[in-house]
Amino acid sequence: MDNFHKIIRKIGLTVVLGTIALMFLFPIVVTFTNSFMTAQEIDINYGSIGQMNEAMKGGKNRYGNLKLLPDHVSVKQYGEVLVASPRYLMLFWNSVLLVVPIIVGQILVSAFAAYAFSKLQFRYRDRLFIVYVMTMLMPFQVTLVPNYIMADKLGLLNSPNAIIWPGIFAAFGVFMLRQFMLHIPYAYIEAAKLDGAGHLRIFFTMIVPMVKPGVAALVVLLFVDYWNMVEQPLIFLNDPFRHPLSVYLSRINDEPGIAFAASVLYMTPMVLLFLYAETYFIKGIQLSGIKG
Amino acid sequence: MKQRFFRQDDDRKIMKWMRKDAVVAWLFLAPSAVGFALFYLVPFIMGVFYSFVDSPVDRHFAGLDNYRELLMSESFRKAVTNTFYFSAVSVPLNLTLSLGLAVLLNANLYLQKWLRTAYVLPLVVPVASIVFVWQLLFDWNGSVNAWLSSFGTERVDWMKTDAARYVIIVVYLWKNIGYNVVLFLAGLQQIPKDYYETAHVEGAGRLRQFGSITLVYLTPTMFFVVILSIMNSFKVFRETYLIAGDYPHDSIYMMQHYMNNMFTSLDIQKLTAAATMMFGCILLIVIGLFALERRYRQFME
């Protein structure tokens, strides 16, 4: 009898949490299913969106109600996005060219710095680290003007470099990798030292292999953050042809016929990476919340 | 004798290593430190400096003039009020909901891993690719109003009235709950199961157990969740901007809108003063929370 109650409870809880989970998934699922609608169907369903006055003039309350499933499944939207308008692919490529150098650069630079912060002794180490962490907490706008002036002085304005360089030196990577390295016992390093290994050798042959999960977590978290970037390109890149897709997608409302497919294509790399590396992602989030 | 000799030798080696450490440390740190100084530290100091001079060209010391002018500005006060209001409502909501979800997810259930994935997924989906759905939902002719009207309720102009606040809160919660759920789940899994068993044997009810075991042991996690949630609540600008553009309804005009607009109109004085004040506020919040945490830890011991 007790067992029976337990199973009922378990089913009940699963149903409740499952329902809430469906609410969370709803916007994503709708975007996905609607990406298979034809442009006509989108116009019929959502044509009244954003046209408040006309709908009122006509005296009709025609709502643009979200439809879960399209009447006719078609891949026309994808054809339009991928083949007919080269702009999309170009901006997708812009996004890649911004995100990949930032991730690679930040991991390289911050792995070395994290080693110094976690395994070496020097004066003001902890104070300096606090300064690093403080910048992590600041919204982008706080250093906007001086950043702009700096980019101007270094001749980086209107070039992706204005976004890439600050991205490479952001403190987040240092913070994360330090968290991972703190878990490596100091005794290992001491033993290696006594065997006559130098710090560079210790770093490459011991530390790097041991923080691989940390690097994986960092890759996912950085990807999520920079793939999503909106403010920086708007400030630093005047030329809309250099914008990443994240900015362009927000303006795509003028072409609702392809918006859903473009959105799906844009989120696909992110979602796949997440599903593939979910454990690392979770681990990364957890470590970001543990004090070191 | 021999043994002792060896150990001393080792000690000396380590001492020598330690002294060399500082040099090596700075070499390891150099690439990061140079870039960090160039793109973060120096800009920050420049920003604070600009906020006290009357123009970046003349550089006459202006004292607190920029701040006085800023505080007089109507739109600045609007932005501050909205930002505070938003954080004050959405952060506690986020904490409560994500704690509740984490406790339930930690219980015995089917599909546990899949459910967690569902809650975390919004975190990785780019804001820009969901914006269209939010617009369809909250438009005057949108789905939410369609549902409301089918219940016979008046429709609401979500994005152009004070209701815009609630829309932004919903969007923030949708995106950020997953992060806190993950953090809380990690905290929950660190609480030894036998604490609950002992409490159960001693006759403590579920609520009592939640109050005096779960909450007490989650408090250290809680401090970080609070800090991260506040920081993330400042980042909601991205969503607001993508949904409502440069000049959204008054009720969701945030600090970052103000700062962006000051940037566009090249009002560097007001912008740097606002930035410095925002930095000061964040600093105070963080220091306050850490002080609270220290006191709590002393109290626990």
What b/e sequence results for B255-278 when a residue is b if at least 16 CB atoms lie within 10 Å of its CB, and e otherwise?
bbbbbbbbbeeebbbbbbbbbbbb
**Please, where in chain A does CATH 1.10.3720.10 lie?**
84-288
Quick check: A63 and B146 in contact, CB under 8 A? yes
B274 and B167, same domain (yes or no): yes
User: Across-strand partners of B61?
Assistant: B53
* Residues of A in Cβ contact (< 8 Å) with B120: 274, 278, 281-282
Between B92 and A83, name the one with better pLDDT: B92
Sort out which chain B residues have CB atoms less than 8 A from A141's CB and list them.
255-256, 259-260, 263, 275, 278
Task: Decide if B62 is inside a domain.
Answer: no
Question: Is B136 in the same domain as B8?
Answer: no
How many Å lie between the alpha carbon of B135 and the closest alpha carbon of chain A?
8
Q: Is the CB of A280 inside 8 Å of chain B's CB atoms?
A: no
Specify if B272 maps to a domain.
yes
- When the pLDDT of each residue in chain A is averaged and rounded to a whole number, the result is 84
The answer to whether residue B55 is domain-embedded is: no
**Alpha carbon of A197: minimum distance to chain B alpha carbons (Å):** 11
Residue B177: other Cβ atoms inside 10 A:
25
Query: Residue B203: its pLDDT value, please?
Result: 85
Q: Tell me: do B102 and B206 sit in the same domain.
A: yes
Q: What's the gap in Å between the CA of B202 and the closest CA on chain A?
A: 20
Are residues B124 and B188 located together in one domain of the fold?
A: yes
Q: Are residues B168 and B222 in the same domain?
A: yes
Contact call for A109 and B31, based on CB within 8 A: yes
Please check the confidence at residue A2 and state whether its pLDDT lies above 80.
no
DSSP state of B161: S
Question: Of A21-25, A111-115, B82-86, B253-257, which range is least confident?
Answer: B253-257
Query: What is the mean pLDDT of the segment spanning A173-200?
Result: 88
Question: Could you write out the DSSP letters of every residue in A207-266?
Answer: IHHHTHHHHHHHHHHHHHHHHT--HHHHHH---GGGS-HHHHHHTGGG-HHHHHHHHHHH
Which pLDDT band holds residue B31 (cuts at 50, 70, 90)? very high
Least confident of A39-48, A61-70, A119-128, A189-198: A61-70
Q: Which residues of A touch B275 (CB under 8 A)?
A: 141-145
Selection from B81, B42, B57, B38 nearest residue B269 by Cα: B57
CATH of residue B277's domain is: 1.10.3720.10
SS3 A74: coil
Judged by CB atoms closer than 8 Å, whether chains meet at B44 and A143 is answered as: yes
State whether residue A287 is helix, strand or coil: helix
Instruction: Tell whether domain A84-288 is in CATH 3.30.470.20.
Output: no
CB atoms within 10 A of CB A275: 12
A53 touches chain B (CB under 8 A): no
Percentage of the residues of chain B whose pLDDT score is greater than 90: 19
CB-CB neighbours of B3 under 10 Å: 7
Q: Are B103 and B210 in contact (CB under 8 A)?
A: yes
**Cβ–Cβ below 8 Å for B186 and A228:** no
Band (A149; pLDDT cuts 50, 70, 90)? confident
pLDDT at A97 over 90: yes
Same domain, B95 and B34: no
* B79 in the same domain as B174: yes
Residues B269 and B174 in one domain: yes
pLDDT at A174 over 90: yes
Q: Are A64 and A129 in contact (CB under 8 A)?
A: no
Shared domain for B296 and B162, answered yes or no, is: yes
Contact residues, chain A, for B221 at CB < 8 Å = 289
Q: Which two tokens stand for residue A232?
A: 């920086």
This prediction's pTM:
0.84
Query: Which is higher by pLDDT, B90 or B219?
Result: B90
pLDDT score, position B160? 79
* Structural domain count of chain B: 2
Check pLDDT > 80 for residue B11: no
The Cα-based distances of A180 to A192, A280, A286, B70 in angstroms read 19, 12, 11, 43
Cα distance between residue B159 and residue B244, in whole Å: 8
Residue type, A236: F
Q: Mean pLDDT throughout B191-210?
A: 86
Q: Is the pLDDT of residue B219 over 50?
A: yes
Are B289 and B198 within one domain? yes
Option in A115, A147, A260 nearest B28 (CB): A115
Q: Does A14 lie at the interface with B, CB-CB under 8 angstroms?
A: yes
CA distance A283 to chain B (A): 9
Question: Can you tell me the ipTM of this complex?
Answer: 0.83
Chain A residue numbers touching B46 (CB-CB < 8 A)? 145-146, 149-150
B176 belongs to a structural domain: yes
Contact B130 A150 (CB under 8 A): no
User: Are residues B23 and B83 located together in one domain of the fold?
Assistant: no
Residues 156-185 (A) with a CB less than 8 A from some CB of B: 165-166, 168-171, 174
| pLDDT confidence of residue B14 | 61
Tokens of A101: 């150098």
Structural domain boundaries enclosing B36? 1-50
| Same structural domain, B140 and B198 | yes
User: Do the domain assignments include residue B63?
Assistant: no
Q: Looking at the domain assignment, is residue B129 inside a domain?
A: yes
Backbone angles phi and psi of B53, in degrees to 5: -115, 160
Predicted local confidence at residue B4, as pLDDT: 47
Interface A–B counts its CB contacts (< 8 A) at 301
pLDDT beyond 80 at A47: no
In angstroms, rounded to a whole number, what is the distance separating the alpha carbons of residues A174 and A130?
11
Residue A21 has pLDDT above 90, yes or no: yes
Q: Is residue B58 part of a domain?
A: no
Q: What is the pLDDT of residues A28-37, one digit of tens each?
A: 999 899 888 8
